Amino acid sequence: MTPFALNYAGLWGAIELDTFMNYLDVRQSNNATCAGGMDIASTDPMQLFTYMLRLMFFEAWSLFTLSASIDNLILLYLCVAGIRIPLVREKR
């Protein structure tokens, strides 16, 4: 880790393992209780798809969002291919 990254994370003076673990515990509890996090264990597949791959090409409103939607299409293809290939191999 560089000093910049440690300073950005608020850990510049806290290189000790105990302090670092306490910092991680606080961050995890903050993420678990705030509205910005998502509990993946209690979601259905459509919610997971919307959370991970939302913003398709027909929802784009600028060049930047169009590039993000193309990236999401590539990720969607890789996800489908990653699920489909093991299923096809099992049938053989």
pTM: 0.49
Number of H helices and E strands in the chain, helices first, is 4, 0
Do residue 80 and residue 51 come from a single domain?
Answer: yes
Do residue 62 and residue 85 come from a single domain?
Answer: yes
28 or 91, higher pLDDT: 28
The DSSP call for residue 43 is -
Q: Treating both helix axes as pointing N-terminal to C-terminal, what angle do 63-91 and 45-53 enclose, rounded to 10 degrees?
A: 140
Do residue 54 and residue 17 come from a single domain?
Answer: no
pLDDT of residue 57: 79
Do residue 86 and residue 44 come from a single domain?
Answer: yes
Do residue 84 and residue 58 come from a single domain?
Answer: yes
What range defines the domain where residue 79 resides?
40-91
What's the total number of domains in the chain? 2
Per residue in 31-74, pLDDT (tens digit) is 666 656 666 677 777 777 777 788 887 888 999 989 998 998 89
Q: How confident is the model at residue 1 (pLDDT cuts 50, 70, 90)?
A: very low
Do residue 66 and residue 29 come from a single domain?
Answer: no
Q: What token pair was written down for 50? A: 């919307």
Query: Which of left, alpha, beta for 16 (phi over 0: left; psi -120 to 50: alpha)?
Result: beta
